[in-house]
Structure 1
């Protein structure tokens, strides 16, 4: 459903890009921006419950994820050859998210358990449409693009490890693994020049970005004999607020 909504937004925005009047005579192949800043990452908690590949355990039935927000860093480069058009490569690095399972039924008097953690980074390639002239101090822009998200440093919390062994599901330590994701991205932002003259090259940036990112989370644990697995389809789909300082070459 989220992917359909994002696709509808992009289809709505396409005519805006297509109808933008770009004066080709103003081509400047040497106009580049370099930006460094902070990112506030807010994942969506909407994902399938943790379950077996074939059967659902009652303790895990209708569980849902509580994914903690995180603050990290970002760096980007923008090539703006035309006054109203630019290409941006944006990297958001090392967001560390803790995980809890809500609606967890195994322990009386509790409805959650600390599950583990994972880290996430993303690389985004945007086509940006700038809505104002280059001479304006404020440079609002709208971007659509593609995203690659990497999930790594996956760990299970000791409390969940104890649940797996105490409930008889596992006879040893389990491992948690996630993968990577390709999806669409969209952003709305503004560059604000600090002034004229010498200060013209420095800008303050703020942007809100939506990323379509999902992956499989798999827990592999030893049994007698062999091993078994639990899994969940993670749809993190984070909203990210990017704040940064930009230098224009």
Structure 2
């Protein structure tokens, strides 16, 4: 599923939920609870999309880098979130996903006979997400499925080039010395579909098991800066990591 189709499907589902009779029902003052909070800690499995432009010069295009594409490895990290649920069918969630480390490979690489790839480097990415969640069932149900639409901030850091690509730049005469790889940050939309499952009634009612699937619209520029004689030159690519993330965790309700 591409980015546009994925977001369109999620938005359509959100609109259908908002227009249900329960969502349209008038909110009573007794329904408002300003003291209802969740705290959640869990693990995240991050699967980036490999859809990005090929690695290329700012002004010229080299045949060895022409029509290359990226292979981005997935990673596992941890997450923490806080949910404020003042209404039976709505809540606000602030979700932070810690830095996930991703290795980068350039595929369809033509420089070395008998090989069609080269190890490029690595980067880490963390994200902060603010969601408006719509809860689909009454709040006294053990199962609490929800849909969230929100905004995402992604930070890309710890970016570095692999020695394999460093050697290629210098051995081919492109660079006269070590190169540096840099990435930036991204603002975009995010969406999630999840469920909290309450472990029981009474004392156990404060603890829940959580699972959710999240889609993030995240893109940034990847730039390789390398020395030439005289000065510097650059290679660049438009990264659209757009990760799908599976979150599993434990929730405590205050």
TM-score, scaled relative to structure 2: 0.95
Q: 1:21 aligns with which of 21, 24, 34?
A: 24
Aligned equivalent of 1:12: 12
Q: Give matches, 1:1-249, under 5 Å.
A: 2-19=2-19, 20-21=23-24, 23-25=27-29, 26-249=31-254
Structure 1: 4+ residue segments shifted above 6 A: none
Shift in Å, 1:87 = 0.2
The 1-side partners of 2:34 and 2:195 are apart by 22
Contact 2:14–2:147 (CA<8 Å) still a contact in 1? no
> Number of paired residues?
249
Gaps of 5+ in 1: none
Q: 1:136 to 1:184 in 2, by over 3 A?
A: same
TM-score, scaled relative to structure 1: 0.97
The 2-side partners of 1:126 and 1:102 are apart by 36
Contact 1:44–1:237 (CA<8 Å) still a contact in 2? yes
Contact 2:80–2:97 (CA<8 Å) still a contact in 1? yes
The 2-side partners of 1:11 and 1:193 are apart by 27
Which deviates further from its counterpart, 83-92 or 19-28? Answer: 19-28
The 2-side partners of 1:37 and 1:18 are apart by 28
Shift in Å, 1:162 = 0.3
Contact 1:24–1:82 (CA<8 Å) still a contact in 2? no
The 1-side partners of 2:73 and 2:161 are apart by 15
Contact 1:194–1:203 (CA<8 Å) still a contact in 2? yes
Which SS does the other structure have where 1:4 is aligned?
helix
- RMSD across aligned positions (CA): 1.3
